[in-house]
Structure 1
Amino acid sequence: MNAKRATVYKPYRGIVPPLITPLTEEETLDMEALGNLIEHCIQAGVHGVFTMGSSGEAMEVTTEVWLETIKETLRIVGGRIPVFCGVIDSCTSRVLERIRMAEDVGAEHIVVVPPFYLNVSSQDEIIRHFEMICSKTTLKVVAYNIPQMTHANILPETIKKIAEFDNLVMYKDSSSDWEQFQRNLFLLEGSKISLFNGAEELCAPAMIFGADGCVPGLANFFPELFVSMYDAALREDIQEVYRYQKQIWELRKVLFVGSSWMSAMKYLGFLYGYGIGKVSTPVEPLTLKEKEELYCMLLKAHDQYGVKIPELQRGIIV
């Protein structure tokens, strides 16, 4: 990994799965499934978990489920690793409301995106948003860039300014823009904040170039794979990093099965024993044909790379 970035101590590094939120048929929280998921990730050696992000259906679940999920995640983790709690909302005042609620149940780290719905096109508005949030809370703040969802892109020059706020500790860039991510790396060289990549397809190059970690959705189901790649990057074993990234590239194809990547994620959760696969309304679950297609992709990854796949104990794909 990049030697210059490595000389700056960063308390936040490694693999941080953005947890799915297992739901019941009534779209309440499946606490047992959430506990099983978190324990599996921790046993695999992940360095933190991110609850109530995009993979957690943060903007689809009710406020009650959102808060209960944060509370239960904190309880289950019990301080063993950092828990990054999404307080995603459309404007500064609503985010501040969520921050107060999250703080009341014990959150120490919060994840914030730029304002959305109303089109925020000015970088000054994004800076003002984070400035107000950082000044109104003592919690540790993570800036989260996901322009494909918010339609507001945090430019590298902007995150460099935001990084100066005292309690801004981490930046997660899920833009999937490699050119922009490189600029982040260069502009944040020597910065106090940790830089994380949020796109599976860029995990390997990001870590080789000196990113502090990754937040990959597939780490819900294959945490050992991502932790192994991170460890290989620390050893500067480029061949091993390349080998793991090939497996990730193959597995990533499952996210394009069906009309929504969330439906694929939830079916993976079902296959690996983390709930019934319920997706928030009105998103449709995978069809039987799509489920068969996804499972065949897992079989291929197993045959090619030895990826662990679940046995269909029920005898059929449901």
Structure 2
Amino acid sequence: MTLDLHGIIPPLVSPFTADEQPDPAALRAEVRYHLDLGVHGLCITGSTGDGQMVSLEDSVAFAEAAVAETAGQVPVVAGIIRDSTREVIRYGKAIAATGVDALQVTPVHYLFQPDEDTTVEYYRRIADETGLPIVIYNVIPYALIPATTVARVLNEVPNVIGVKQSGGNIHQLADLLHLAPEGGKVFTAVDDLLYPSYLLGAQGAISATLTVVPELCLAQWDAVRRGDHASALELHNKQLPVWRAIDGPNMTVRIKAALALQGRDGGHGLSPLTPVSDAEREALRAALVAADVKLA
């Protein structure tokens, strides 16, 4: 494939109004914020973007906004988190019409996990029927695709161009990188281990920390690329408390609170996500201050 995905690809929040309607204008502002910093790509409607909760209509609205604001400057990857091949393809065809560059697709996860051959064919059919490049989103802990199966999909399905490795922590990522699949790239989503992920050979990251503190993550990526490991480690130690502060069952609304502390508009969260508590907000503030992030 000619699509060049690499480097820092923040997965954006999905901004909603108080009455739970999509807010494309707020998303466009976030897109512009990241583009002005120099990110290498953008991802929408993934886990950070409440992808498991958004309707097809919401997904299309957010994709249209992201594509329009990006205007071809960097690739736009749209996430789909559904539980049947048919539904993924239904979403995928509608989203493809907006002009996104690729789809990020989880395995199905409720209630059962397909076997290896079925998993390969799942991604093959999605790629064939949507006509878009696919990034495997390997995140569901109870339906984690083994590293050997991921490598097989990357090597056997031409339009599957990469994997975002989130579940299984650094060990699954290490196994994938050791297998060195020739058919696609391996991106890390192990937020507390971004720096060692790059050292192991990850070709970029698509993870929540990138959305909250993109400046730090871009600086770290550049530091690793030029071999400045003292700076990369220093940035790791700034990023880690930020990740600890946003990590939790209500992660997406914590992220939106972290954006608000910086004067950015991530919109409202969706029900039934637990609202951010005062203690959580103060932990977010403290982590951002410690990381030298400018607050509003």
Assess same fold via TM > 0.5. yes
Q: 1:61 to 1:133 in 2, by over 3 A?
A: closer
2:122 equivalent to 1:129: yes
Q: Paired residue for 1:81, among 61, 66, 74?
A: 74
Gaps of 5+ in 2: none
The TM-score normalised by the length of structure 1 is 0.87
Q: Paired residue for 2:173, among 178, 181, 204?
A: 181
SS, match of residue 309 in structure 1? coil
Q: Which has the larger radius of gyration?
A: 1
Provide the alpha-carbon RMSD of the alignment.
1.9
Q: 1:227 to 1:124 in 2, by over 3 A?
A: same
Q: Paired residue for 1:199, among 178, 182, 190?
A: 190
**Which residue does 1:211 correspond to in 2?**
202
User: Structure 1 residue 247: deviation in Å?
Assistant: 0.9
How many correspondences in the alignment?
Answer: 294
Work out the CA distance in 2 between the residues paired with 1:66 and 1:134: 18
Instruction: Map 1:34-49 to 2 at 5 A.
Output: 34-49=27-42
Work out the CA distance in 1 between the residues paired with 2:43 and 2:266: 21
2:211 equivalent to 1:220: yes
User: Structure 1 residue 30: deviation in Å?
Assistant: 2.1
User: Structure 1 residue 147: deviation in Å?
Assistant: 2.0
Q: Paired residue for 2:251, among 248, 252, 261?
A: 261
2:14 equivalent to 1:21: yes
SS, match of residue 27 in structure 1? coil
Q: 1:293 to 1:201 in 2, by over 3 A?
A: closer
Contact in 2 for aligned 1:10/1:192 (Cα 8 Å): no
User: Structure 1 residue 186: deviation in Å?
Assistant: 1.2
2:41 equivalent to 1:56: no
SS, match of residue 293 in structure 2? coil
Q: 1:171 to 1:220 in 2, by over 3 A?
A: same
User: Structure 1 residue 212: deviation in Å?
Assistant: 0.3
Q: 1:121 to 1:129 in 2, by over 3 A?
A: closer
Contact in 2 for aligned 1:173/1:181 (Cα 8 Å): yes
User: Structure 1 residue 122: deviation in Å?
Assistant: 2.3
2:113 equivalent to 1:160: no
Work out the CA distance in 2 between the residues paired with 1:289 and 1:124: 47
Percentage identity across aligned positions?
A: 25
**Which residue does 2:60 correspond to in 1?**
67
SS, match of residue 61 in structure 1? coil
SS, match of residue 143 in structure 2? coil
**Which residue does 1:5 correspond to in 2?**
none
Work out the CA distance in 1 between the residues paired with 2:276 and 2:196: 32
Contact in 1 for aligned 2:151/2:179 (Cα 8 Å): yes
Work out the CA distance in 1 between the residues paired with 2:193 and 2:279: 30
**Which residue does 2:273 correspond to in 1?**
283
SS, match of residue 286 in structure 1? coil
SS, match of residue 295 in structure 2? coil
Contact in 2 for aligned 1:146/1:173 (Cα 8 Å): yes
Deviations 1:73-111 (A, max 9, x none): 111111000000112211111111111101122223111
Amino acid at match of 1:101: A
Work out the CA distance in 2 between the residues paired with 1:167 and 1:310: 42
